């Protein structure tokens, strides 16, 4: 198994955390998508990380799909619950966490460009989405065993700490802060912290 990765990508972190949860090992191939590396392009024409290649040579190029595949082949406690209420709850949380990243990652990229009126409006929209999502997570039930939703939440909040420390998410979110700090004791998160 092979994973094209960037050490600062929160999407990659999710996949690596799931692999660690199951004790799975894989080859890690560093990739900077901005440089269009041939090895990444050979496995992912979208030139994005994470990009994962199974032992059978199948390329999986989206973190939710990669995580589900790893959970499927892994022998640890399943992170994707069986169909039913627990699964929908976990997936709803996972989508919200990914939504934070879907706003935070492009917002970071755009912050390094000239700030015209259009980019400022987009930044405000992304920031508002991030804020609303963190507020929503504060109201969710974070109890129970680790699942894919909770993995996503830890990775999203860790990315906010890493890239948006100047906009702290902890004030007003005591339940989320306590959850995050407790989860950071788990090696799958402590060993994958960006930086």
Mean pLDDT of all residues in 37-53: 95
The answer to whether residue 45 scores a pLDDT higher than 80 is: yes
Q: Is the peptide bond before 132 cis (omega within 30 degrees of 0)?
A: no
Q: Is the peptide bond before 97 cis (omega within 30 degrees of 0)?
A: no
pLDDT in tens, 150-187: 999 999 999 999 999 999 999 999 999 999 999 999 99
Question: What pTM value is reported for the model?
Answer: 0.94
Supply the pLDDT for residue 150: 98
What is the three-class DSSP state of 60? Answer: strand
pLDDT in tens, 112-121: 777 888 888 8
Residue whose token pair is 């934070």? 100
Phi and psi based region of residue 172 (left: phi greater than 0; alpha: psi -120 to 50; beta: remaining): left
| pLDDT grade for 53, boundaries at 50, 70 and 90 | very high
- Inter-residue contact 132 to 97 (CB < 8 Å): no
CB atoms within 10 A of CB 125: 12
């Amino acid at each position: 198994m092979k994973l094209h990765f960037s050490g600062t990508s929160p999407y990659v972190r999710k996949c690596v955390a799931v692999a660690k949860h199951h004790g799975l090992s894989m080859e890690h191939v560093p990739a900077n998508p901005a440089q269009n590396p041939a090895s990444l392009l050979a496995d992912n024409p979208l030139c994005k990380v994470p990009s994962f290649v199974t032992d059978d040579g199948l390329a999986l190029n989206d973190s939710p799909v990669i995580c589900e595949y790893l959970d499927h082949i892994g022998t640890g406690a399943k992170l994707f619950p069986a169909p039913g209420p627990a699964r929908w709850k976990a997936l709803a949380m996972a989508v919200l966490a990914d939504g934070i990243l879907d706003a935070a990652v492009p917002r970071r990229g755009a912050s390094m460009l000239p700030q015209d009126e259009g980019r400022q409006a987009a930044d405000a929209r992304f920031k508002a989405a991030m804020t609303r999502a963190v507020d929503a997570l504060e109201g969710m039930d974070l109890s129970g065993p680790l699942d894919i939703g909770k993995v996503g939440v830890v990775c999203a909040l860790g990315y906010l700490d890493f890239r948006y420390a100047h906009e702290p998410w902890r004030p007003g979110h005591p339940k989320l802060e306590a959850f995050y700090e407790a989860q950071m004791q788990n090696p799958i998160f402590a060993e994958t912290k960006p930086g």
